[in-house]
């Protein structure tokens, strides 16, 4: 099996060395970049499986801006490293297209678990729902092609956003509890991280709903879970 390749983007040499050594020891192929411009150029020329991206970078591009630019041409899973634990910073990271975040200081073991989990959900096993396509109103999910359309136009989703929508689509009309959806998408170790789910549901609604504040596709049962409106 081909080894997964990871690009670390951070300008702290000690942290980069620590993370790189442990990723190498875990069997990954690792490259590094110290600024956003270099990272974008490397991603454009090479096929990486995962990006670990620090928010605070030297030069004109911070991590949020790098993430947005990468999302213009790639759906590579992105873990953001941040020294900021504020909710608005996490939401900003998710809005930019990040799939996960780790707050500094962090343990190497925690980061390795996040890496393993995000790679697992970005390459899920093929378990198609009853029909190859979900349709409701202007929303179409093509499960076989892993593509989503609204009013005939394709919507670009991150790997994690697609996984949330995929599991809702597989069970359209049925409420999936918060804990169950977190476990299916992120893994059992995330089953209590409700803020993750809220952030991703909010992001998905912004992309597929006409009015995210009054959704007609992704619906919720307060305190219980979420469900996708029953399609055709």
pLDDT digits (tens, 9 = 90+) for 103-142: 888 888 889 988 988 888 766 544 545 567 889 889 999 9
pLDDT of residue 20 exceeding 70: yes
Evaluate whether 26 touches 112 at the Cβ level (below 8 Å): yes
32: which strand partners? Answer: 8
Kind of pairing, strands 225-228 and 218-221? antiparallel
- Among the ranges given (44-53, 54-63, 180-189), the one the predictor scored with the smallest mean pLDDT: 180-189
Cα dihedral across residues 216, 192, 80, 169: positive or negative: negative
- Rounded Cα distance between 31 and 35, Å, is 13
Overall average pLDDT of the 57-72 stretch: 92
- Region of 223 on the Ramachandran plot (φ > 0 left; ψ -120 to 50 alpha; else beta): left
Which pLDDT band holds residue 213 (cuts at 50, 70, 90)? very high
Higher confidence at residue 159 or residue 169? 169
Which pLDDT band holds residue 16 (cuts at 50, 70, 90)? very high
Which pLDDT band holds residue 35 (cuts at 50, 70, 90)? very high
Overall average pLDDT of the 29-36 stretch: 96
Which pLDDT band holds residue 1 (cuts at 50, 70, 90)? low
pLDDT of residue 161 exceeding 80: yes
Cα dihedral across residues 80, 82, 85, 87: positive or negative: negative
Where do you find CATH 3.40.50.2300 in the chain?
Answer: 5-122
Which pLDDT band holds residue 75 (cuts at 50, 70, 90)? confident
CATH architecture, range 5-122: 3-Layer(aba) Sandwich (3.40)
Evaluate whether 141 touches 134 at the Cβ level (below 8 Å): yes
Angle between helices 63-70 and 36-45 (to 10 degrees): 20
CATH number belonging to the domain at 133-228, selected among 3.30.70.260, 1.10.10.10, 3.40.50.720, 3.40.50.300: 1.10.10.10
Which pLDDT band holds residue 6 (cuts at 50, 70, 90)? very high
Q: How far is CA 129 from CA 22, 141, 144, 172, in A?
A: 38, 11, 10, 10
Where do you find CATH 1.10.10.10 in the chain?
Answer: 133-228
Overall average pLDDT of the 184-192 stretch: 83
């Amino acid at each position: 099996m081909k080894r997964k390749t990871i690009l670390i983007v951070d300008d702290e040499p000690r942290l980069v060395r620590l993370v790189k050594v442990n990723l190498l020891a875990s069997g990954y192929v690792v490259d590094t970049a110290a600024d956003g411009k270099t990272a974008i150029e490397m991603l454009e020329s090479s096929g990486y499986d995962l990006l670990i991206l620090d928010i605070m970078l030297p030069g004109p591009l911070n991590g949020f801006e790098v993430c947005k630019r990468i999302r213009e041409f790639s759906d590579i899973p992105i873990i953001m490293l941040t020294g900021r634990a504020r909710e608005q910073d996490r939401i900003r990271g998710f809005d930019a297209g990040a799939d996960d975040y780790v707050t500094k200081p962090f343990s190497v073991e925690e980061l390795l678990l996040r890496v393993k989990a995000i790679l697992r959900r970005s390459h899920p096993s093929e378990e198609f729902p009853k029909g190859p396509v979900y349709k409701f109103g202007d929303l179409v999910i093509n499960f076989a092609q892993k593509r989503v359309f609204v009013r005939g136009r394709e919507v670009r989703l991150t790997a994690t956003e697609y996984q949330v929508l995929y599991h809702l689509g597989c069970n359209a009309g049925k409420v999936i509890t918060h804990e169950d959806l977190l476990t299916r998408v992120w893994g059992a170790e995330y089953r209590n991280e409700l803020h993750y789910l809220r952030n991703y549901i909010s992001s998905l609604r912004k992309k597929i709903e006409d009015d995210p504040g009054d959704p007609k596709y992704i619906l919720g049962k307060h305190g219980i879970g979420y469900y996708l409106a029953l399609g055709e």
